[in-house]
Amino acid sequence: MFKILKAQELADNIFLMEVEAPRVAKACQPGQFVIVRTDDEGERIPLTICDYDREKGTVTIVFQIVGAGTVMMAALKAGDSFRDFVGPLGCASEFVTEEMAELKKKRILFVAGGVGTAPVYPQVKWLHEQGIAADVIVGAKNKELLILEQEMAAVAGNLYVTTDDGSYGRSGMVTDTIKELVQKDGREYDVVVAIGPMIMMKFVCRLTKELGLPTIVSLNPIMVDGTGMCGACRVTVGDQVKFACVDGPEFDGHLVDFDEAMKRQQLYKTAEGKAFLKAKEGDSHHGGGGNC
Predicted local distance difference test score (pLDDT) of residue 219: 85
What is the rounded distance in angstroms from the CA atom of residue 261 to the CA atom of residue 8? 32
CA-based torsion, 210, 249, 247, 65: positive or negative: negative
277 pLDDT band, cuts 50/70/90, is very low
Please state the rounded mean pLDDT for residues 73-84: 93
Q: Are 273 and 282 in contact (CB under 8 A)?
A: no
Q: Across all residues in the chain, what is the average pLDDT?
A: 87
Distance, CA of 175 to chain centre = 18
Among candidate residues 75, 31, 72, 78, the one with its CA nearest the CA of residue 58: 78
Q: Are 90 and 32 in contact (CB under 8 A)?
A: yes
What is the rounded distance in angstroms from the CA atom of residue 270 to the CA atom of residue 267? 6
- Residue 97, CA distances (Å) to 24, 102, 263 in order: 19, 11, 33
Please determine, for residue 280, whether its predicted confidence score (pLDDT) is greater than 60: no
The verdict on 106 and 77 lying in the same domain is: no
Q: Are 278 and 285 in contact (CB under 8 A)?
A: yes
Exposed / middle / buried, residue 257 (Cβ in 10 Å: 0-12, 13-18, 19+): middle
Q: pLDDT tens digits, residue range 178-215?
A: 999 999 999 999 999 999 999 999 999 999 999 999 99
Please determine, for residue 272, whether its predicted confidence score (pLDDT) is greater than 50: no
Is residue 264 helix, strand or coil?
helix
The verdict on 80 and 106 lying in the same domain is: no
The verdict on 106 and 213 lying in the same domain is: yes
Q: Are 39 and 29 in contact (CB under 8 A)?
A: no
Please state the rounded mean pLDDT for residues 108-114: 96
Residue 278 lies in a domain: no
Total count of domains within the chain: 2
What is the rounded distance in angstroms from the CA atom of residue 187 to the CA atom of residue 190? 10
Domain stop point among 218, 240, 271: 218
What is the rounded distance in angstroms from the CA atom of residue 256 to the CA atom of residue 253? 5
- Residue 169, CA distances (Å) to 166, 177, 226, 257, 265 in order: 7, 11, 35, 32, 31
148 pLDDT band, cuts 50/70/90, is very high
Q: Are 193 and 216 in contact (CB under 8 A)?
A: yes
Q: pLDDT tens digits, residue range 214-249?
A: 999 998 766 666 666 666 677 888 988 888 777 778
Domain stop point among 218, 248, 272: 218
Give the domain range for residue 12: 2-89
Please determine, for residue 275, whether its predicted confidence score (pLDDT) is greater than 50: no
Among candidate residues 277, 267, 201, 279, the one with its CA nearest the CA of residue 237: 201
- Residue 119, CA distances (Å) to 75, 186, 232 in order: 22, 27, 20
Please determine, for residue 287, whether its predicted confidence score (pLDDT) is greater than 70: no
**Predicted TM-score of the model (pTM):** 0.85
The verdict on 11 and 104 lying in the same domain is: no
Predicted local distance difference test score (pLDDT) of residue 46: 86
Domain stop point among 174, 195, 218: 218
284 pLDDT band, cuts 50/70/90, is low
